[in-house]
Amino acid sequence: MDSTRAEGLVNVVDVEATCWAGSPPPGTVSEIIEVGLTVVDLAAGQRLARHRILVRPARSTVSGFCTELTGLTQPEVDQGVTFAEACRLLAADHHAGARPWISWGDYDRHQFTRQCQATRTTYPFNHLHTNAKAAFTEAYGLRKRPGMAQALEIAGLPLEGRHHRGEDDAWNIAALVLHLSARDHWPTPVEHLA
């Protein structure tokens, strides 16, 4: 993709991480196990591409609760790349350092920040981030910030794929972003320091 074409593009990112029904087992931490990414052309109003990076956890395992929620299994994520490699791929193949990026809430941004600091991995994204959940809440004048599935219902959009699957959630969040953009309710990205 040439740089002039890439200028109007944004990355919509959704991560899934190891999780448990209660507290993490002693000595473990929540780690990213899947990165879903949808490339959006805001000017054209289109979702251009969807990507999935499976990430092999180093300090935790996929619990039964996590599998039930996400559908991801330990043998599946064992086939993934390391977190450092996932960050390298985001920067090199998905222009994460050049494009503004979007997530549903701030969890994904904070999880990347924490995990990059803990593993001494270079943060892959630039600092122009938009919290789509906050933008949606403001655009609809809601008191509480809805989950992604609830926001799709409010907007009259279908839930495509499996909820709590990074690739599918990024695709659905991208639909909400385009919905807000078409209504002239898409904000300018906010700069955050990692």
Q: What's the pLDDT at 194?
A: 58
What is d(CA 33, CA 120) in angstroms, rounded to the nearest whole number? 18
Q: What's the pLDDT at 146?
A: 98
Q: What's the pLDDT at 29?
A: 96
Q: What SS3 class is residue 39?
A: strand
Q: What is the pTM of this model?
A: 0.94
Per-residue pLDDT of the chain (194 residues; tens, 9 = 90+): 334 344 689 999 999 999 999 999 999 999 999 999 999 999 999 999 999 999 999 999 999 999 999 999 999 999 999 999 999 999 999 999 999 999 999 999 999 999 999 999 999 999 999 999 999 999 999 999 999 999 999 999 999 999 999 999 999 999 999 999 999 999 877 777 65
Scored b (16 or more CB within 10 A) or e, 73-100 reads ebebbeebeebbebbbbbbeebbbeebb
- The DSSP bridge partners found for residue 117 are none
What is d(CA 71, CA 160) in angstroms, rounded to the nearest whole number? 15
Using left for φ > 0, alpha for ψ between -120 and 50, and beta otherwise, residue 71 falls in left
Q: What's the pLDDT at 4?
A: 35
